[in-house]
Structure 1
Amino acid sequence: MTIIPTPTTPLDWSPPWESLPSDLSEALAPAVPGIVEKIIETVPRQIPAYASARGDGRYGDKLTLGVITALDNLLALPGTSRPALTAESRALVADLGAGEFRQGRSMDALLAAYRTSARIAFRGLSEECARQQMDLSVVVDLGESIWAYIDELSSVSAQAYAFEQSARAGVLELRRADLVGALVRGGVEEDELDRLSGAADWRPPRRLAVVVMPVASAPAVRAALGVSGLVVERESEATALIPAPERPGQRARMLRLLAGSGAVIGTSVDWRGVPHSYRMARTVALQRRSAGPDDGQSPLMAEDHLAAVVLGAEPLVMAELAERALAPLSELTEAKREVLEQTLLSWLSHWGQRGPVAQELGIHPQTVGYRLGRLRELFGDALEDPAARFDLELALRWRALSR
């Protein structure tokens, strides 16, 4: 359905055709067929978007009918105070503007056609006025009337074009959200993918990656990606599908494109692997969010944080492991527990070397020795058991990511 813009003419506005003689239409009628023919010949030749009208009989007929109707409406105005368009003609002009969008032509093409037609109409009608030796004031008022009439046609068509474009964009966004949602959920059959891709006007590339980012970053990323990717807002985050960067240069370009967005890019997959790429990106994004503010908001590649993905993949399992492995610290105050957890993780990471531990934590080596003595009291032989040390490091790294 085409939205018909309502008139916005000021109440005290007098149309220029009101001062024209009421019998002008009858006097100028002989010039109309030649003007129609000239417009139909000139518009497709001067405006490339309408070049196909010459070979398209149906569109040519429609163009002819439109030009004749527009001229008939114009020549019905002299000597009246009527608005440029009746309700019926307004609907026709609005439909023309909406149709331009549906046909894939720009609004600039239609406006150019209006301007070209106005020049031809004025030349043809003014020549007829001169042939009949009409007063110059008639020619001046006629020219003003033609341009006022064309302005109204242009305004109505442009508004209808914009309404159609907006409605189409809204529907397209819904279709694209359907496509992204289906791929993220997984289990899509190929024929269903074809249907969803066709409706969304976007075909997944051979290899793609899922990007998770804050909702606030979506508009800028959408503009930067252009037609190469899809960006949709999903609940508290935005999700994008992009061609996977498969070469070093592509990766660097993508990271520059996503700079400042706080995006996390999942691993490269085919369309069947989108759920996996999404889980990886979202896991790293959640851990990043829980770590606190990140002023730089640099994009991250999930494949560079695989250990974090593993630790975050099963939070309930990791919570149980941490509860068991770190049980000896449970009776301490929160502040003391956090200090000993940091010390123990640093000690495990540096293979028990006190110097690197002291340097990392910014404390004296004697303080490291004191804390290690306390840890040995609490954990006993577990600190000498490789399997127990592995569990402890996993639990401590998960705790650090979860804080």
Structure 2
Amino acid sequence: MSQPPAPFPDSSPAVVHPGLTSDDGEWSPPWQSLPADLPEKLAPALPAVMARMIQDVPDQIPAYAEARDGKYGRNLSHGVRTAFEQLMRLPGTDLPALNDDSRALMATLGAGEFREGRSMDALLGAYRTSARIVFRDLSAECARQGMDMSVVIDLGESIWAYIDELSSVSAQAYAQAQSAQAGLLELYRSDLASALIRGGAEEKEVQRLAALADWRLPRRLAVVVLPATAGADVRHRLGRTGLVVERESEVVAVVDALPPRVRREQMLRLLAGTAAVVGPAVEWGLAPHSYRVARTLAVQGRGGTGDPVLAEHHLARVVLGAEPRVVAQLAGRVLAPLEGVTAAKREILEATLLSWLTHWGQRAPIAAELGVHPQTVGYRVGRLRELFGDALDDPDARFDLELVLRARRR
């Protein structure tokens, strides 16, 4: 259980209430103009004011309604008492609003509210409720004792100036706790993504990391590989729906792959324009496979600047890119007849040979694809037959040639 809400309201920390201005133009706290004996005069009313706050804050702020008793009640009493004691030290002095002890307590209250899961709105609401009680009851006591109206005005101004400082400290501590928690959660999410991509972790360990990362581990997921510059953009787009790891040469994201239709369409919209390559959907234990497939296509430059590339539509290219040295060795063997041809001629003949293999030797579509006359196609094919001979009529040789030429065209 965290500490209770602070007993006075929070205005925005940026708001500055007017104080007193001395002859030399320096700002002085408004409580400096209050009578030094004011705390002694108000002392009889303070216990009732504190009791009213302890009762009314939980009644009026739903977030605190179930936390009235036990440790919360004790913490609330301590917070109210400490804040009151500090406020009552201020009249007739130029002391700062908070001393070291009360400042530390207000920071603890703000951070504790975040850890308890209560919103900043609840904390500010508790501050405002407390402020109304304090000013109403103390101003009534001033009137009962016949004090001058100027004392009531200065008292109200002092309360709000005091609250400005109190609420600023609490709000800053709340924000710092929130930021620290967000950073820790992001670290856990990165650890989980790395464990999935790396593979080899026991299920118990993966489930532990998923719990720490506050991420539901899906039955099927996909690994996405993106350029190194896409990290911040993709992290913002995916939000809590995906895990993102930023590396030196790439960004890797892990996303839920179920249900196939709805989730895929949503994912594609989120990744539009990111040059993403999406690996195949797999069970989470096979995430390394999804990553290797996506990365193979990414290395080949398959990621564009528009819609994401789905690896499942390019598996043949994955096969070709999986063992580039083997493909290079095969190319050296089956394209050996072109070794004696100039580089410019070789490029033309390779393009013609691939088109010829693709279109089963039909001159018209070959000529249309290459942008040449059909007679030119006939001349080039004749030259290819001179170089390759019977290999162009062998099904196995034709398969090897097409495979190599498609790989070289990537």
Same fold (TM over 0.5): yes
Counterpart in 1 of 2:40? 26
- Counting only pairs closer than 5 Å after superposition, residues 47-66 of structure 1 correspond to structure 2 as 47-54=61-68, 56-66=69-79
Count residues with an aligned counterpart: 390
* Counterpart pick for 2:131 among 118, 133, 146: 118
What is the CA distance between 1:69 and its match in structure 2? 0.8
What is the CA distance between 1:47 and its match in structure 2? 2.0
Counterpart in 2 of 1:236? 249
* Runs (5+) with no aligned partner, structure 2: 1-12, 20-24
Counterpart in 1 of 2:10? none
1 or 2 for the larger relative contact order (CA 8 Å, sep ≥6)?
2
In the alignment, is residue 16 of structure 1 matched against residue 30 of structure 2?
yes
What is the CA distance between 1:176 and its match in structure 2? 1.6
* Counterpart pick for 1:343 among 348, 352, 371: 352
Runs of 4+ in 1 over 6 A off after TM superposition: 7-11
Over 3 Å counting, the alpha-carbon distance change for 1:280 and 1:12 in structure 2 is farther
Contact kept, 8 Å, 1:115 with 1:150, in 2: the verdict is no
SS in 1 for 2:300: helix
SS in 2 for 1:108: helix
Counterpart in 2 of 1:394? 403
- Counting only pairs closer than 5 Å after superposition, residues 373-384 of structure 1 correspond to structure 2 as 373-384=382-393
In the alignment, is residue 329 of structure 1 matched against residue 338 of structure 2?
yes
Counterpart in 2 of 1:3? none
Please give the alpha-carbon distance, in whole angstroms, between the structure 2 residues aligned to 1:346 and 1:227: 47
* Counterpart pick for 1:271 among 284, 288, 291: 284
Please give the alpha-carbon distance, in whole angstroms, between the structure 1 residues aligned to 2:123 and 2:60: 12
TM-score, normalised to structure 2's length?
A: 0.89
Please give the alpha-carbon distance, in whole angstroms, between the structure 2 residues aligned to 1:327 and 1:92: 82
What is the CA distance between 1:232 and its match in structure 2? 2.2
* Counterpart pick for 1:46 among 24, 36, 60: 60
* Counterpart pick for 1:71 among 78, 84, 102: 84
Counterpart in 2 of 1:366? 375
RMSD: 2.2
Contact kept, 8 Å, 2:275 with 2:305, in 1: the verdict is no
Please give the alpha-carbon distance, in whole angstroms, between the structure 1 residues aligned to 2:387 and 2:214: 62
Deviations 1:329-371 (A, max 9, x none): 3344433332222222121111111211111222222222222
In the alignment, is residue 205 of structure 1 matched against residue 214 of structure 2?
no
What is the CA distance between 1:168 and its match in structure 2? 2.1
Please give the alpha-carbon distance, in whole angstroms, between the structure 2 residues aligned to 1:372 and 1:78: 103
Over 3 Å counting, the alpha-carbon distance change for 1:335 and 1:118 in structure 2 is farther
- Aligned AA for 1:356? P
**% identical aligned pairs:** 66
Deviations 1:235-260 (A, max 9, x none): 22211111104333332222122211
* Counterpart pick for 1:249 among 250, 262, 267: 262
SS in 1 for 2:97: coil
Please give the alpha-carbon distance, in whole angstroms, between the structure 2 residues aligned to 1:46 and 1:211: 49
Contact kept, 8 Å, 2:274 with 2:305, in 1: the verdict is no
Over 3 Å counting, the alpha-carbon distance change for 1:45 and 1:344 in structure 2 is farther
TM-score, normalised to structure 1's length?
A: 0.91
- 68-77 vs 223-232, which moves further: 223-232
